[in-house]
C-alpha cells in the first residue's frame, strides 16, 4: 500500500490483531516505518505445542458459539464464572459475529510469530 501511494516511510499503529500484524511489519520492514504503536496486543515471539492446543480448543468452542476456555483463562484471579454466566457472556460477545471466521483466525495465530 505504501508503494502504491508513493510513501517511503510511515508511522504505523495497530490495535489487537492489527498490533500483531504491525509488529511483524516493523520487524520485517524496519526501513519503511518511522515509528510503531501497538495497542491491545503485542507480537508473538514463540509458539509452543501448548499454544497450539489452546488455539484449537478455543477455535472449536468458537465454532459452537462458546468462549468457555477464553473466558475462564481471562477471568480475574480467584473467580470462576458459572456455566450460565459463561453461556450468557459468550452469546453477548459473539452476537452478530462470524464464529467460523473467528475460529479460522484463532487457528492461524501461529502465523503471527515475529521472525
pTM for this prediction: 0.73
Q: What is the pLDDT of residue 89?
A: 97
The pLDDT assigned to 44 comes to 79
Q: What pLDDT digit, counting tens, does each position of 67-87 carry?
A: 999 999 999 999 999 999 999
pLDDT band at 17 (very low <50, low <70, confident <90, very high): confident
SS3 content of the chain, % helix, strand, coil (to 5): 55, 15, 30
Contact criterion met (CB below 8 Å) for 54 and 69: yes
Does residue 43 carry a pLDDT above 90? no
Angle subtended at Cα 38 by Cα 4 and Cα 34, rounded to the nearest 5 degrees? 50
- Mean pLDDT of the 33-45 span: 87
Three-state DSSP state, 14: strand
- From the number of C-beta atoms within 10 Å of its C-beta (0-12, 13-18, 19+), residue 41 rates as middle
Amino acid at each position: 500500500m505504501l508503494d502504491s501511494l508513493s510513501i517511503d516511510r510511515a508511522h504505523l499503529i495497530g490495535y489487537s490483531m492489527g498490533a500483531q500484524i504491525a509488529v511483524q511489519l516493523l520487524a520485517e520492514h524496519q526501513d519503511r516505518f518511522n515509528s510503531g504503536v501497538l495497542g491491545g496486543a503485542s507480537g508473538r515471539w514463540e509458539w509452543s505445542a501448548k499454544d497450539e492446543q489452546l488455539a484449537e480448543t478455543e477455535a472449536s468452542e468458537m465454532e459452537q458459539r462458546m468462549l468457555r476456555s477464553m473466558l475462564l483463562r481471562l477471568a480475574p484471579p480467584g473467580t470462576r464464572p458459572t456455566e450460565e454466566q459463561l453461556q450468557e457472556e459468550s452469546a453477548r460477545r459473539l452476537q452478530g459475529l462470524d464464529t467460523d471466521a473467528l475460529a479460522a483466525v484463532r487457528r492461524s495465530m501461529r502465523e503471527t510469530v515475529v521472525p
